[in-house]
A and B are shown apart, each in its own frame.
Chain A
Amino acid sequence: MADTLVRTERPAASAEARRGAVAAPHRKGRFVPLLYVAPALVFYALFVIAPWLHSFWISFWNWNGIGAATWAGLSNYTAVFEEPALRAALTHAFGFIVFYTVVPVILGLILAAVTSAVPWRAMPVIRTIIFLPQILPLVAVGVVWKWIYGEDGPLNQMLRAVGLGSLARAWLGDFTYAFPAVGLIGTWVSTGLCFLLLLAGIGKIEPSLYEAARLDGCGRLREFWHITVPGLRKEIGVACNVTVISALAGFDVVYVMTGGGPGYSTMVPGVQVYQLVFTAGRVGTACALATVLSLITCAAMYGLNRLSRER
């Protein structure tokens, strides 16, 4: 998000940089940029790359985290795809993309288009309210929603108050509704972020484009479809990136609300990895699942970035 904003706000900066690059081809200077990134790179290598490689390495072992390990070959990886519980976790992660990404981006687009078209005075308040879920710790969000969905919680009380008591149930204990119930929290959290990102993006779309469209007799809807949406291509890309990662790597909300249950109906890879390590003592399998998840995430990011790149 940050680099999109910087790039668009200061077109002069990149021009300067280009001139600088042409003017300084000293041989010594070739190492200077590396010096600048070195601190960050060292930390990244130590705390991200090395642990990732370590966990990749562990994924080839049968190890309970404490005792002696035995070589497992690829058996941990076959387990990830063959054990129903582990496979279900991966499938659910993709299901959550609908709730964390697809719905929030669509909602965010509509909200952003509507609020930018109508200059309400209450705008700052609306923005704050829509963005609020994003700044709450996810564990707190989970605890609050668990109460809302509870058997005697506000949701069921509301249903009973309007005469729909027959629909009331323990939402998180129901095999059919637990998954969407947990997923909707993702929508609630992500919509604010998408909305704000897209609203900022709309602000930088050339106003003359809208003027031209209006002169050509475009309605609001065609304006939205032909100018706003294409103009937000990059922002939509960023919103998708951020939310897809949170969908695939989710842990807090599910752990707090259902722990993966009932049955395995809301199990996600994050919770499964945690259980494999701390309850089952299958650190190797957990690392294999984590590796598969990180590869899937990387692949998804690559695909998304290709899609959102400007043609």
Chain B
Amino acid sequence: MKISRVLAGAVLVALCGTACAPGASKEASGAEPSGPVKKGVTDEKVTLKLVSTPESGAAVKSVIKAFEVKYPQVTIEYEDNSVDDYNKALNLSLASDQAPDIALLNSVGTTVKDGLVLDLSRYAKAYDWDKTYPSTQLNQWRVAEDGSTLGTGGLYAAPAGFSLVGVYYNKAKAAKAGITTPPATLEEFEDALAKAKKAGELPLQLGNQQGHASFAIQLIGQSADGAEKAAQWTFGQKGATFDTPGNRTAADRLTAWKKKGYLPGSANGTDLQTAVDKFTKGRGVYFVDGNWDAEKIGDKLGKDAGFIAFPSPKATAIGTSVAYAISSKSKNADAAAFFLDFLHSPEASAAEFRAGFMPADLTAAKPQDGTVMKDIVTAWGRVNEDNGLVGFNNNATATMNDKLTATTQELLANRTDTDGFVKAIQDEWTKTHG
């Protein structure tokens, strides 16, 4: 009896403590500041905290050094955390009392909706970012009022180098298989895969444990449908659909390639890094991956490493910028914005390129002839000429990466077909953007 009374007391206490809706009240951050911004920094000593991930942070570390030399009154503390942990903890850390001033934003997610980062439009205007970057590059970080539709609205992050996904190939293996010119269309690409198979090689290396087959699907899809249409879907704009001829072809092709033995049988049990290792050891003539692995592939394959934008008359690529946002809680937003502006300076551009990213200022990209980096810069140029850069399908909603992982695994294992795949992806999209 006593126990039950004590328990009842505990229940009461707990309920009193929780008897309101969880979470902060709406619009905790209040109105955004407006009016003109202070450009540059004063002589006052300022300390900024910047958080990033090791991959993306490699460049920013040297940018910080260059910045601190130029503006010694500013100290920038750098911290990083592995991608998985970083993405999971970012919102909590931005909402906490120890929020960083500047934070890497890998996807918009709910970060903007929850008012955790500042609208940078005022700074963009003051620093003329619209003129520095092509619109397709900034649009990925524009978020509409609803907090989930991208491509229009306020700007919430500034780019610090770009990534792009295309096709790596092993020049020696391709030559041995009789593939003399790089394929320029999907049909030619399939012919090349067939030739590679005939030559006894694995045509297309793939690791799909983390769902990277979605890269190949998106590239086939958007090169058929056009970058503009594909971008509408990744941006979550009203009326867009995944059920397009391009995406259907993509799912069809992928299952066909699996059946023909163009893909490794163990793809679903192989993660990206293992697939990269296998490709660098000569298993696979082609490999769809991003420029973040360029250094590793270039080091191991040397002169044999090549890279092309996905074969298509109009070049497209999946790509996004490494982008930094300013916390709503930052007390030194002006200084932080000044640092963001520094990210496209020649010094910063050179550092970004050294770390494998395509810099805003392409004159800073001086790759050596015959290297894979040279190929990547060429592909990047082609893609921008055709205005073909599209953000990752995986970032279309907070859960899209998980959904793409699960459904591409099902697709490769014949557990679903093109209809089921396209429907599952569109249904997931509708949950957020419908």
A169 lies within 8 A of B265 (CB): yes
B266 lies within 8 A of A170 (CB): yes
A50 lies within 8 A of B91 (CB): no
- CB-CB under 8 A for A279 and B269, given A54-B14, A66-B23, A175-B415: no
Q: Which of A70, A170, A280 lies at the interface centre, i.e. has the most chain B CB atoms within 10 A of its CB? A: A170
- CB-CB under 8 A for A65 and B23, given A151-B270, A279-B398: yes
CB proximity of B20 to chain A, nearest CB, Å: 9
B95 lies within 8 A of A66 (CB): yes
A171 lies within 8 A of B114 (CB): no
CB within 8 A of A66: which of B10, B114, B265?
B114
Instruction: In the complex, identify which listed stretch (A16-24, A56-64, A116-124, A234-242) lies at the interface while the others stay far away.
Output: A56-64
> How many chain A residues touch the partner (CB < 8 A)?
40
- Give 23 A-B contacts (CB < 8 Å), ordered by A residue: A34-B2, A34-B6, A45-B14, A50-B17, A65-B23, A66-B110, A66-B116, A67-B113, A68-B23, A68-B26, A69-B22, A173-B209, A173-B266, A173-B269, A175-B410, A175-B413, A261-B209, A262-B209, A262-B268, A262-B413, A263-B407, A263-B409, A281-B109
A279 lies within 8 A of B110 (CB): no
A263 lies within 8 A of B110 (CB): no
- CB-CB under 8 A for A67 and B13, given A173-B209, A263-B406: no
B256-275 vs A, CB cutoff 8 Å, 1 = contact: the mask equals: 00000000011111100010
B266 lies within 8 A of A64 (CB): no
> How many chain B residues touch the partner (CB < 8 A)?
47
B22 lies within 8 A of A63 (CB): yes
A150→B11 CA distance, assembly (Å)? 48
A261 lies within 8 A of B406 (CB): yes
> A278 in the interface, Cβ–Cβ < 8 Å?
yes
The B6-30 residues at the A interface (CB cut-off 8 A) are: 6-7, 10-11, 13-15, 17-18, 21-26
> B243 in the interface, Cβ–Cβ < 8 Å?
no
A53 lies within 8 A of B11 (CB): yes
Please, which residues of chain B bring their CB within 8 A of the CB of A172?
209, 269
> B88 in the interface, Cβ–Cβ < 8 Å?
yes
- CB-CB under 8 A for A67 and B24, given A50-B14, A261-B209, A281-B110: yes
- CB-CB under 8 A for A49 and B10, given A174-B268, A263-B406: yes
Residue of B nearest to A171 (CB): B269
B21 lies within 8 A of A279 (CB): no
B102-127 vs A, CB cutoff 8 Å, 1 = contact: the mask equals: 00000001100111100000000000
A124-157 vs B, CB cutoff 8 Å, 1 = contact: the mask equals: 0000000000000000000000000011000000
The A269-297 residues at the B interface (CB cut-off 8 A) are: 275, 278-281, 283
A281→B432 CA distance, assembly (Å)? 12
B15 lies within 8 A of A53 (CB): yes
The B63-102 residues at the A interface (CB cut-off 8 A) are: 87-88, 91-92, 95
